[in-house]
Structure formats: structure tokens, C-alpha cells
Structure 1
Amino acid sequence: MSNSVSLTQYLQLSGLAEWATPAFTAAVAEQQQALQQYLQQAADTAVNWQYQVPELGEGGACSLFGVLAAEPYDLTAILGGQTAANQQALSKLSQITAFYQQQAGVAWFGIYQARQNPAGEAVLVKLSYFGAPSRAEFPLTAEFAAISNNSTVGLSGKARVINSVASYLQQGGEYYTCDPKVQAEACLPLYAQSGRILGIVDAEDFQPEVFNPQALALLVAVCLTIPDYLPAV
């Protein structure tokens, strides 16, 4: 039994009810089936417990683009240890990430879970990704949400699709810049079957207008699958 909501519930909760057309529903179902087949056939994937992160600038922003912190981020503490269950969860999330990379062809993608870090702060922690190094934790606070789509979606549960970052900024939108080459972003929530927000996914590309209905159907299919494989909180 799935730990996620149905597609209809997902679109309603995330503020995307207008996407619920027969064509979009069929595209999501096709991608879900393909992803499940991929997961069934995939061999266990090596887990990266550590990954490089940028030095953070003033206010915690990734203003020092291309400058990496001396120490990598380690997931061990925030996940409660390198247990067999956590190892299996991260392996499956890595497989989902690999599937999305193969199918989507975008520049960057990350899976984030809402958790408390060792300091007791509510954050989104990056569990699996591909692309350039980026920050590991996004604070789940109203203050940080004022500049971050990730934190905004993690708190509100409402999706944000920005197909032109330049136009978004011109219209007065706040944008957290970690890689200045990013021209389009789709940030979508993850839900438990109860409707509780479990985290987010974030996809980015260096070209504008890439998140068309077909691309978003793939991303929604991924969002409906991930909750079954997240580490226990």
C-alpha cells in the first residue's frame, strides 16, 4: 500500500488542480509505471552519505558560488545513524534520482525531506541529487521562505513552477540563487497519505520554459513515488 496521496489529492493539495486533465493524468500514470519497473529491476545503488556543499555567504545564501566548504555535509547525524533501513532508503532515492536524470535531462535535481537537524531546527535536508554542489539544509522558517522557493514550498505545500527566472525577478519575486546559470525551476511538495508535508523535490535547468506539461507529468510521478521510500522520522 502506498504511503502517498492519489494524483487527484496531490494536485488539489499542491494548488495544481487545473492540471487535472485526462492527458496529464494519463502521462503521470505512464511515468509512474515506468518508474516502478525501473525500481524493480535496478540493482542496489551505492549510497553517498557525504557530499560537497558551497560556502554560504551572508545570511546563509549560496553567494559564494563555486567555492566549496572544506568539510562535506554528512547525513549520518540528521538521519539518526547509518542503519540498514536508512541505507536502503537512500539507495532507493538514488535510483529514483537516476531515473529522473535519464528521463528529464535537466541540469539539476534534488530530493529533500523535512526533518529536525541535530541543533533541533526544522529543515529540509537534501537526501539525493544530481548536478552542481548546493546547500544541504534549507531552514523551514517564514524568514528564510521570504527568499527561498524550497522553504516556501516546504512550509506551504504549494508548488512553484518558474519557467523564466529573469521574468520572475523582474516582476518582483524573491529568488534564492545558488547557481546563476539557472533559468527555470520547478519546486513541488511531497505528501504523506494523511496530507502532511514530507518534503519537496526541486528541479532546475539552464534553459527557460523547460517545464512543459510532459516534463511536469514526470516530476509529479516522481513526487507520488518518493514518499514510499523516505527514511523514517
Structure 2
Amino acid sequence: MLIDQYLSRSGIQKQDLPSDFSTLFAGYQSQLNNLAQASPENIKWQYQVPELGEGGSCSIFDQLAAEPYDLSVILGGKTAANVQMLGQLQSIVDFYQQQSASQWFGVYQKRQNQQGDTVLVKLAYFGAASRAEFPLTQEFAAMSNNSTVGMTGKARIINDVGVYLAAGGEYYTCDPKVQSEACLPLLADDGSVIGIIDSEAFSKNMFIEKELALLLSVATALAVILQS
């Protein structure tokens, strides 16, 4: 999907982009196109997740569940295709971590879990432990930007979480240090939502200028992988 189409479908306004967006975007795209795939050893097939509280929200901050989440179950095994996909995703996650000042970043794909529920499942990330699946339901969207973006295909960019919460915005809090969040849809060529990305920072006004251009470049690159 061309970037102009993505901006239109995701609801991101061109006036919110930096004046040199085209140059920045092209530069990041060039670097992303030349990334080497991550080795299988760098793929996280299992990862720690927080204990979940009432309603499926995070419980006490930094309190982890006894059992890690096993990604191979929802993906249908450690197949060659899955190894290739996760290796490509991890290489982009590593690139984003090197280029961005973000403290947390995750890539989610829309899938059905073992219970038959449609969810966003976290395939690759960096940062603190976080939940593995976000339900794609109206009930959960009432408290989660991830679920809202996964259902609507519209981006949510919050550069001051405190102000957003005070205005009554829905927000899923697992780390109280987060001050900015950008949640963008991953869109197939036909405009359907195939996943999301979520980036979080401990400072306000993070997702502007170069950071926003970088995030949009990563979103378009990841969408190509997830729909292939």
C-alpha cells in the first residue's frame, strides 16, 4: 500500500507530518529494504507476560505470570514459514529499537486463538513484559487503544497520556511511566486490518517529526511481511 493511501485510511493528517516527511520516509524505507533477516536464535517463541487482573487488565505492575506465553501454539508450530516471518519481523523490531527513543515497541497480528476468539497476538517486541493477546471486542476496546485500532483501522497517537486520560480517553495501563503512545494499524493492500504496532515512551510529545516518520516507515514494511 502506498503511503498516501495508508495515511488516508488510517486517519493520519498530512499536516501532522514533518515538512521533510517524504525525504525521511524514503530514507527509512531504503534502510528497511536492506535489512538482513534476524537469525532463528533471536526469535522469541516464548516470552513472559504479566498477571492479568479483573476484566483482563494488567494486575500489579511487574508481577509476571508463572508460565510464559508460547507463540508457537497460535501460529501452528515452528514451521519454516513461521521462522522466516518472525525473523523478518524481529529484524525490523531491532532496527526500530536502534533508531527510536521509544522504550517499548510491539508488533501484533490479527489471528484466532485456541479458544476461537479473534485477537491481536504479539509476535515480536522489545521492552518490558506485556500481555500477549488483545481481544478484538467492543468491550475490550472501551479500555484499550490496541483493540480499538485493531477493530477500526484508525491510528491513535497520544503525545500526553495524562491529558488524554483526563479527557476521558480509553487507555490500557500496564506501565505508569508511559507518557506517550502511538498505535498504528497494519493494513493489507485492500485496506483490511491485519495487525497493529504499538510504541510507548516515558516522555511526552514523542511521536512527532522524525519519530513519526520512522514509525510510519516501519508500519508499511511490516504490513508487507504479514500479508505475504
* TM-score band w.r.t. shorter chain: over 0.9
Which structure 1 segments of 5+ residues have no match? none
Cα pair 1:63 1:177 within 8 Å, conserved? no
Quote the residue 1:146 is aligned against: 142
Match of residue 51, structure 2, among 48, 55, 72: 55
Q: Deviations over 1:190-226 (max 9, x none)?
A: 0111111011000001111111121010000000100
**Over aligned residue pairs, what C-alpha RMSD do you find?**
1.5
Change (3 A) 1:78 1:214: same
Quote the residue 1:118 is aligned against: 114
* Cα offset, 1:47, TM superposition: 1.2
2:71 is equivalent to residue 75 of structure 1: yes
2:217 is equivalent to residue 221 of structure 1: yes
Cα pair 1:85 1:231 within 8 Å, conserved? no
Quote the residue 2:39 is aligned against: 44
Quote the residue 2:13 is aligned against: 17
Match of residue 6, structure 1, among 2, 19, 26: 2
* Cα offset, 1:63, TM superposition: 2.5
Quote the residue 2:151 is aligned against: 155
Aligned residue type for 2:43? V
Cα pair 1:76 1:82 within 8 Å, conserved? yes
Q: How does 1:158-177 map to 2 (within 5 A)?
A: 158-177=154-173
* Cα offset, 1:21, TM superposition: 7.0
CA distance in 2 between counterparts of 1:196 and 1:103 reads: 28
* Cα offset, 1:36, TM superposition: 1.4
Aligned residue type for 1:44? S
CA distance in 2 between counterparts of 1:107 and 1:53 reads: 17
Ranges of 4+ aligned residues in structure 1 off by more than 4 Å: 19-22
Q: Deviations over 1:12-59 (max 9, x none)?
A: 00001324676212211111111112x1x4552521100000000110
What is the DSSP-based 3-state SS (H/G/I as helix, E as strand, rest coil) of the residue aligned with 1:211? coil
Quote the residue 2:191 is aligned against: 195
CA distance in 2 between counterparts of 1:108 and 1:36 reads: 23
* Cα offset, 1:228, TM superposition: 2.4
CA distance in 2 between counterparts of 1:94 and 1:20 reads: 26
* Cα offset, 1:70, TM superposition: 0.3
Quote the residue 2:200 is aligned against: 204
Match of residue 30, structure 1, among 27, 31, 51: 27
Q: Deviations over 1:121-161 (max 9, x none)?
A: 00000000000000000000011001000000000000000
2:175 is equivalent to residue 184 of structure 1: no
Cα pair 1:112 1:201 within 8 Å, conserved? yes
* Cα offset, 1:231, TM superposition: 7.4
How many residues are treated as equivalent by the alignment?
226
Q: Deviations over 1:70-107 (max 9, x none)?
A: 00000111111110100110011111000000000210
What is the DSSP-based 3-state SS (H/G/I as helix, E as strand, rest coil) of the residue aligned with 2:148? helix
